Each structure stands twice: as C-alpha cells, then as structure tokens.
Amino acid sequence: MRGAAWRLGLVLLLTVASMVWVFWNFDWQEAEKSLNGVSWDWVPAALAFYSLAHVLRALRFHLLLQGKVPAMQGLSILSVGYLAIHVVPARIGEFVRPYLLAERAGVSWGAALAVIVLERLADMLMLLAMLMGVALWVELPSGALVVWDTDILLAGQRVIGAATVVGFVGLGTVLALGERVLGLTDPLPGGALARRFHEAVRSQKWSTLLAVLGLSAAIWAVTILGVWWVLRAFPGMPSGLDQAFALWTITLTGMTVLPTAGFFGAYEAACSSVLIVFGVQEDAAKAFAMLLHLSQYFFTLGVGFWFLLREGWSLRELVSRSQESRS
C-alpha cells in the first residue's frame, strides 16, 4: 500500500512539474491570437475519427477474447477501462479491464491479463514501426528534436525497441518452456494465474494475431488522419500528412515513455516540440497541443462515463477492487 502511495505521489509530482515546464512563460494572449481564423468544423470530424478508432479497438479486444464475451459487454469493459487509464494516475487503471473481465464476464484473471499483454505488445510493435517510419520518411532538421542533449527520436527508438524486444522475448520464453516451468509454479500462490495466462496465449490462432496487428495499424492510421484533419483547420499549422505522422508518433512516444497523470505535460511537451520544429510559434504550438489533447481526453472520458452510468458501476469501487484482486 505504501509503495503504491509513493508511486502515485511521484507520478503526480512528475505531472505537475512537466506542466509547469511546458507552460512556464506561456503567453495566453499570443495563444488566443493564434486561434483566430480556426475552422471549428474540425470538432465533429475529429469526433468521427476518434469514434472509428475506438470501434477498431473494440474489435481488436473482441478478437483477442475469442468471442468469449458479447461484443456490447466487451465495448463497455473496454470503454470503462480506458476511462480508468486516463483518470487514475500511475497506470493503476490498467487493471480495471482484467478485473471486469474476471468479475463481470467470467474470464479468468490469467486469460484477461494475456489479452491486455498481447494488445500492448501489438501497440508497442506498431509504435516502433512508426518511429522507424519517421526516421525514413519525414525530413527533420539535424538535431531538431534534441531536448536536454537527448535526441527524442533516437531515444524513443531505443526505449520502445528495447521494451518491445523484452516483451516478445519474455512471451516467447513463457511459451517455449511451458510445462517445465508451470509445474514448478503450480504450488505457488500465483501458479494458477500463470497457467491460465499460458493457456490463453497458446490458444490464440496465428490468423487472429495477424488480424490484431492489422487492426493495430488501422487504429493508429485513423488517429493520424484525425490529427492531420485537425492540423488543417488551424492557420499556420503544418498541413502535410507526413508532418501529422511525425507529430502523432513523437507525441505517442512521449506519452509512453513519460506516463504522467492523464498524460498531461508529456503530451503537450512532445506535441509542441514537433510543431516548433516545423516552424510554428511556441505559444501557438502549446495552445494547439493542449486543444488536441483535451479533445481526445474528453472524448475518452465521455464514452467511458456513458458506459459507466449504463452499467451502474462505480469507478472508485472498480479501481479499489481491481487493486485488491491483484494482491
């Protein structure tokens, strides 16, 4: 409990520090001027792109669950789970989905965790491919994305690449060792969980996993198109599809490497840094980054709270019980 409190406090401190760093000496009047001439038609278009990406995530979730959970129930669990991830700091909300799958849909904790792990590995693999794509496709000035003597693009490739390799090697090791390891872990408190996890991963078909990778690519492609559409609505913003691709890739990398509460601070820092590289004035870049972030954030909150009310669930209770179930 004490460790969780320390982790939560550290994340909140990091969030506040990053927001202060991003918006220190921020000129609100200049930012307001940058919004003049904005075509607010981007709002319904952005919501349409966000909705499509959410539907694709739900379809991926349904495939990984192998149809064991009705589609509508899976959509509820997915939406509330993403709400928890965005609202609860320190990634504690990640365990709401496995808890709901176990308690409301009858899926074992091990199988539920396997779904989340496979989903995250697919996203990490896609992000690594996107980072490589930025390096090959997008023309960036030499040293343009260097912050505190660190090349963000190169650092992102290394961190995400290492995490992806470790994830796949770990998963492959679990599958390869199989019964020899499971026989040793069965008597332990987490033995049943490990066995269910192993069985769930082994039960996935290669065709399903390939479809999951394809859906993961489609999710990020739709998101990039949404970002591109929003960029085109703001005067003075870069309007190339390659620039939208770079913008979202670096922003997503920042959110992954620095998981602040609600991704605030990390999102704005990464997003605005890319816009500044493309020649956008600093205050305008930060104002755009905040608006884009808030549009995505409140979409996730809106959908999540709607399903929360529909199901009659309490978010605080779900988070608390999901933490108790882990221990």
Q: How do residues 264-273 score in pLDDT, each as one tens digit?
A: 888 888 898 8
pLDDT mean over 26-41: 72
pTM for this prediction: 0.85
Q: Is 312 left (phi over 0), alpha (psi -120 to 50) or beta?
A: left
How confident is the prediction for the chain on average, in pLDDT? 82
Q: What residues does each domain of the chain span?
A: 52-326
Q: Greater confidence, 196 or 231?
A: 231
pLDDT mean over 118-129: 92
Tokens of 70: 């009705």
pLDDT at residue 54 is higher than 90: yes
- Residue 2's pLDDT band, with cuts at 50, 70 and 90, is very low
* Cβ-based burial of 42 (10 A; exposed 0-12, middle 13-18, buried ≥19): buried
Q: What is the CA radius of gyration of the chain?
A: 21
pLDDT mean over 61-90: 89
279-303 pLDDT, tens digit per residue, is 888 888 888 998 899 899 889 989 9
Whole-number pLDDT of residue 41: 82
**Cα 90 from chain centre:** 13
pLDDT at residue 312 is higher than 60: yes
pLDDT at residue 170 is higher than 90: no
- Residue 1's pLDDT band, with cuts at 50, 70 and 90, is very low
- Residue 182's pLDDT band, with cuts at 50, 70 and 90, is low
Which among 145, 121, 157 is positioned nearest to 253, based on CA atoms?
157
Whole-number pLDDT of residue 58: 96
Q: Is 143 left (phi over 0), alpha (psi -120 to 50) or beta?
A: left
Whole-number pLDDT of residue 136: 80
CB 265 within 8 A of CB 153: no
